[in-house]
């Protein structure tokens, strides 16, 4: 597909997303008095609209692999992070309301941040690392007890297609401290919705969900290593051919056992 057509489709999509945000953000205040699950569902209609607009306008389709692995119990979701797509998609696609742990500066974004503030998310001050994690554990226990799942991106920021960031152990520590398993998710959204790119490309995004990883009695470094091994191994299965062919497999993957990979 030619670049001018891709640009035009991306422009139309971004305009639709902006218009939907301007309309939906004020509506979130109308939803505020409703019970939380209803409020979450109605807010998530914005997410559903954006994902469907990306499919219809930009040709970005998706498939889910391993949905049967999702437990009907409290859990921490640790996901690969390549794009804004997954932050939008996972919000409404997973069966339980999600709690995002994010930098508090996002609350200051007009319209988007206002809607976010009405949900039971966990904003943190990254300049206060120790205090921030203690607050995440305290708030996380409450959210898990109320039936929500907590989602974190262990790489911390979006990685470029074919690469990986350093996996941080915060999500694993939170799972151990709250006594719940981890759900690893691999996805290749960056192939269609690349990091720092206006252009959206048509294609099929695969969201692959791994089996829950137990955390009871374990070390956080061991848990996050198992998460990294599974996600990065799965990325080589679901990504387009050739993307990882020129990259050396990380040592952590070379050492992965059948149980951890």
CATH number at residue 145: 3.40.1130.10
> Which of 20-24, 115-119, 182-186, 221-225 has the least mean pLDDT?
115-119
Q: Which residues pair with 63 in a beta bridge?
A: 206
Residue 16 lies in a domain: no
Residue 181 lies in a domain: yes
Residue 200 lies in a domain: yes
Predicted structure pTM score? 0.88
What pLDDT digit, counting tens, does each position of 64-108 carry? 999 999 999 999 999 999 999 999 999 999 999 999 988 888 787
Residue 23 lies in a domain: no
Residue 157 lies in a domain: yes
pLDDT at residue 245 in the model: 61
Assess whether pLDDT exceeds 90 at residue 7.
yes
Q: φ and ψ at 244, to 5 degrees?
A: -105, 5
Helix segments in 84-146, DSSP class H: 85-93, 112-117, 129-145
> Which of 32-36, 199-203, 226-230 has the least mean pLDDT?
32-36
pLDDT at residue 212 in the model: 97
Q: What's the total number of domains in the chain? A: 1
Average predicted confidence (pLDDT) for the chain: 88
Sign of CA dihedral 149, 206, 231, 124: negative
Residue 249 lies in a domain: yes
Cα(152)–Cα(170) distance, integer angstroms: 9
- Domain assignment of residue 213, given as a range: 60-254
Residue 140 lies in a domain: yes
Bigger pLDDT: 152 vs 120: 152
Assess whether pLDDT exceeds 60 at residue 166.
yes
Cα(182)–Cα(169) distance, integer angstroms: 12
Residue 198 lies in a domain: yes
């Amino acid at each position: 597909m030619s670049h001018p057509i891709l640009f035009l489709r991306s422009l139309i999509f971004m305009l639709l997303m902006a218009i939907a945000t301007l309309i939906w953000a004020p509506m979130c205040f109308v939803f505020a008095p409703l019970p939380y699950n209803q409020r979450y569902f109605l807010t998530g209609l914005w997410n559903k609209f954006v994902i469907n607009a990306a499919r219809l306008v930009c040709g970005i389709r998706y498939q889910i692999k391993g949905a049967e692995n999702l437990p009907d119990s409290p859990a921490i979701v640790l996901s690969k992070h390549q794009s804004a797509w997954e932050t939008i998609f996972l919000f409404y696609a997973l069966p339980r309301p999600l709690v995002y742990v994010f930098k508090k500066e996002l609350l200051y974004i007009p319209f988007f941040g206002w809607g976010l503030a009405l949900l039971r998310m966990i904003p943190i001050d990254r300049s206060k690392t120790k205090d921030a994690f203690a607050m995440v554990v305290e708030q996380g226990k409450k959210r898990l007890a109320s039936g929500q799942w907590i989602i974190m991106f262990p790489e911390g920021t979006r990685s470029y297609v074919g690469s990986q960031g350093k996996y941080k152990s915060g999500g694993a520590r939170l799972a151990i401290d709250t006594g719940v398993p981890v759900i690893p998710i691999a996805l290749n959204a960056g192939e269609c919705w690349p990091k720092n790119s206006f252009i959206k490309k048509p294609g099929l995004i695969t969201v692959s969900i791994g089996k829950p990883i137990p955390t009871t009695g374990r070390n956080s470094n061991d848990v996050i290593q198992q998460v990294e091994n599974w996600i990065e191994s799965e990325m080589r299965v679901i990504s387009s051919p050739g993307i990882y062919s020129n990259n050396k497999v990380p040592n952590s993957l070379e050492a992965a056992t059948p149980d951890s990979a």
